[in-house]
Amino acid sequence: MTREQKIGQFFMVATFSNRDEAHYQYIETLVRHYNIGGLIFFQGGPNRQAVLTNRYQAAANIPLLIGIDGEWGLGMRLDSTMDFPKQMTLGALRDTAIVYRMGAEIGRQCKRLGIHINFAPVSDINSNPSNPVIGNRSFGESKENVALKAVAYMKGLQHNHVIATAKHFPGHGDASTDSHLALPTISRSVTQLNDIDLYPFRKLIADSLMGVVTGHLHVPVVDNTPRLAATLSEKVVTELLKKELGFRGLVFTDALNMGGIGKLPAEEVNLRALMAGNDILLYPENVPDAVHKIGSAIDEGKISQELIDEKVKKILRAKYWADLHKYKPIQLENLNRDLNSSEAQLLKQELCEQAVTLVKNTNNLLPIGPLDTLRLASVSIGTDYGNAFQKMLGRYAPFKQLTYGEKPSNDHSVDEMISQIGDANVVVVSFHRMSPSARWNYGVTSASLNLINRLKQKGVRVVVCAFGPAYALRPFVGTQADAVLCAYEDGEEMQRVVPQIVFGAVPAKGVMPVTIGDWKIGNGLLTAPNQRLAYSLPESVGMRSGQLRHIETVIQKAIRDRAFPGCQVLVARKGKVVYDKSFGTLTYNSFERVTDETLYDLASLTKVLGTLQAVMILNERGAIDLNQKVAYYLTEFQNGNKRNMTVSDVLLHQTGLPAGLSRAIERAKSSGVADYRSVRDSLHTLQVGPNLYASAALRDSIWQWIVRTPLTARVDEDGRYNFVYSDLSFVILQKLVERVSKQPLDTFLNENLYKSLGVSSLCFNPLQCQPGMKIAPTEQDTYFRNSLLQGTVHDQLAALQGGISGHAGLFGDATDIAKILQMNLQRGNYGGHRFLMPGTVPLFVRTQSDRSHRVLGWDKPEVDGNSVYHAAQVSPRSFGHTGFTGNVVWVDPDYDLVFIFLSNRVHPSAGNTLINTQKIRRQLHEIIYQSM
């Protein structure tokens, strides 16, 4: 190498991938003509950076070391890439191994983008809470915790052949000045420096650390030269770092454009940094003059050629270690996919889950348990409507959601907030866009704190969720809040995780990385999971996101083929919802998109999500005996043709009942005008259609028709009735439930199941119980009701009963259905509450008859394997049900799997059977099994 080539290796020049061609040509000139040794990329995007990296490497005689300042991942600098939690968030983790995994993932991403150095981890101990530049970039205030986490992060990077650098030597944690702007003085004693600040650096060096970044810090106990930055101090870099601590890796300056370096000319700064002992000059300015200045210094004997050669050899060894001796250009194909893998997204979620710290939990308020007595409200301060936090809260329970982008500033605003909260007895108050500065009270107004105390005076239980750095907990130390959670950051991932901890789907595990009042470092209250559904990625339960993406392909084709205008699909496995998406629009001619809150007419899913649940509850209470005759409970059957049918016969559809009441329905349709009204009045209270109301007496007439209806003559050779799927079975079961419980079916379900489960969307007659909700329309009825059915039940028999029937009438969304199915899968347990005894669900899904594949209320796999709605791979123990409007639910205990598909395939006509002829639901179900 020529002398100029050797000198060029010391320069790591700053570059960007979001600049113009003039900038790119300037960098290329430095590479070609000044032989610079490396580049550090800042703002831009991954594809643009990859293209530029290939361009610059092609121009280099000696391959370039590419670096990035990615303390929390590539997303710290580049768009379209991942940012992991900041280091103080990681300081809250009990599990150091997961920090290693994060380091390894960041290392993998760096390698994929042609990066060889990540200027991380920050190894400073943040002993000064008012530190203006380190703060949440540090793992915390414990030297042991900082050292453990820094070593783990370092190893993860370096095991992927990415050089890690510990910064900012000899310790930036006690600074009170931002070194980007001016030179901080670290007023530590020798003992403090040795025992505290240098502790993590010693641990890293003793392990396998390959790089150190020297800080722009004035450290008088090491070098008392006035206003001299450690970067330029031979006593700090050579004597302390290299000789005393024995570091033999690469020494990098901090960025030489920062205010903390002083006012010296750029070329002088570069020379002095080399002479102090640094090997690589980071973000140098005026490279041509600096090269000349260093060459002159060699000629003048200020720096020896031997020292130059030694430094160059270190740099070349590092390049060899980083595999630059077998350099290959970056492959652009699938780059974005590779940098944002599902596995990396899952790791980020796990980091967030494990970091959230519960510091206060009076009377074990968290996790929130049974919901039947709770009136919940959420007050989010400093964020926007529709935020991820409140949306996730709403998945667990019905909340009155209040959002305030502007933080309350006076008593009047607090009065207004309390008025809007109303009669809620548990309020979750979340703080967003918090400040890291004590000067601004961390972004928490006195009025916000007053809100908490005012609610407590009313007897309300208050949960505080702080989406800000650990220090931002300080304002809440003196409040009366019952529970306080620190989330450290305000990203969407953290906003989705915290509600899961509030409701016990995910346990609280984190510990304090710093001390805030009585909340001491290392302390954190633990909670146990309570079997509520959590939300995660498919990879968390052994499924593949890539395979599940085929669901969208099938559904988009089905929508194009007009099999249905829109749908909801939900998949849960091992207690986690891993796929939950909505597709299409409410109608073919609508621009209104289906969302996860859209309500669908569930048709016959009412049988298993409503009536059957009530039967199971009453059965285990001893109020209903499955072997007892129905006539025992419904005395009107005692002298008729139904006197011998048992409850289990009804559940199995083996009673001789016909499929429906076709002739009775015809009678009801042709009733005189006096039986119907276009508006509700005191006599006509049953809503049959959007603008059609029937007399309440019609419900009694229908029941009498059912009592008198003849039975089928189809019996087997033993004289037993064959299987005939009959809606009348569940109308009878509805009457049985109501007679035994002395409550209407909808009231019984709400009080004994839905409220405690946190189910809010499931209801009969949604126009009355869910006003304002988006409801997917079903049929354009031209035969009876002469209108588009949207919110009134499609099934005619159910409609003639006012929309509440045992066989049809429920409306709901996939989120709430999943809670019921998961509770059944978990043998009656959900959210820390036992709804059914462990043996009840197994009893009802056990094969009882050899005359059909049905069991007690549920459907079972079709033995011929030709099902149009479930996969061939389902296990024999699986169970589910379908709904005429285009729905299916299926539970597979062997795979710990729940599948829900909701659609309005009957829109605009029930004659549309493409969903069956194309076996769309089966295709989706098979994709799910193939993903495992």
pLDDT above 80 (res 662): no
| Mean pLDDT (whole number) for 250-272 | 90
User: Which residues in the chain are classed under CATH 3.40.710.10?
Assistant: 551-930
Cβ-in-10-Å burial (0-12, 13-18, 19+) of 247 comes to: buried
254 catalytic per annotation: yes
Distance CA(565)–CA(584), nearest Å, equals 6
| CATH 3.40.50.720 matches 551-930 | no
Distance CA(867)–CA(869), nearest Å, equals 6
- Please answer whether residues 709 and 664 qualify as being in contact, where contact means their C-beta atoms are separated by less than 8 angstroms: yes
- Active site residue: 69, 124, 174, 254, which one? 254
pLDDT value of residue 469 = 94
Distance CA(918)–CA(562), nearest Å, equals 11
Whole-model pTM over 0.85: yes
pLDDT above 90 (res 668): no
Distance CA(601)–CA(551), nearest Å, equals 22
Mapping DSSP to helix (H, G, I), strand (E, B) and coil, where does residue 598 land? coil
User: Which residues in the chain are classed under CATH 3.20.20.300?
Assistant: 3-338
**Of 73-87, 437-451, 506-520, which range is least confident?**
437-451
The DSSP annotation for 692-738 comes to EEE-THHHHHHHHHHHHPPPP--B-TTSPBPP---HHHHHHHHHHHH
Reported as type and span, the H/E element at residue 640 is none
- Active site residue: 23, 159, 180, 833, which one? 180
Distance CA(336)–CA(81), nearest Å, equals 8
Peptide bond into 121 cis (omega under 30): yes
Q: How far apart are the first and last CA of the chain?
A: 56
Reported as type and span, the H/E element at residue 566 is strand 566-573
Distance CA(48)–CA(80), nearest Å, equals 11
For domain 3-338, the CATH architecture is Alpha-Beta Barrel (3.20)
The DSSP annotation for 763-776 comes to EESHHHHSTT--B-
Domain spanning 356-530 has what CATH number? 3.40.50.1700
Reported as type and span, the H/E element at residue 12 is strand 11-15
Residue 609 per-residue DSSP state: I
**Of 20-24, 358-362, 708-712, 728-732, which range is least confident?**
708-712
The string of pLDDT tens digits covering residues 498-507 is: 999 999 999 9
| Mean pLDDT (whole number) for 667-686 | 75
User: Which residues in the chain are classed under CATH 3.40.50.1700?
Assistant: 356-530
The string of pLDDT tens digits covering residues 530-588 is: 999 999 999 999 999 999 999 999 999 999 999 999 999 999 999 999 999 999 999 99
Reported as type and span, the H/E element at residue 252 is strand 250-253
Distance CA(508)–CA(336), nearest Å, equals 33
Tokens of 778: 């079903």
pLDDT value of residue 312 = 98
Cβ within 8 Å of residue 713, ≥6 positions away:
none
Distance CA(86)–CA(88), nearest Å, equals 6
180 catalytic per annotation: yes
pLDDT value of residue 673 = 46
Q: Which of 123, 83, 136 is nearest to 513 (CA)?
A: 136
Q: Which of 515, 446, 432 is nearest to 475 (CA)?
A: 446
> Which residue, chain included where needed, has tokens 């690469």?
250
Average pLDDT, the chain: 94
E runs forming strands in 135-220: 163-169, 211-214
| Mean pLDDT (whole number) for 809-836 | 97
Distance CA(246)–CA(529), nearest Å, equals 47
Cβ within 8 Å of residue 35, ≥6 positions away:
4, 5, 7, 8, 9, 60, 61, 62
pLDDT above 80 (res 64): yes
- Please answer whether residues 42 and 14 qualify as being in contact, where contact means their C-beta atoms are separated by less than 8 angstroms: yes
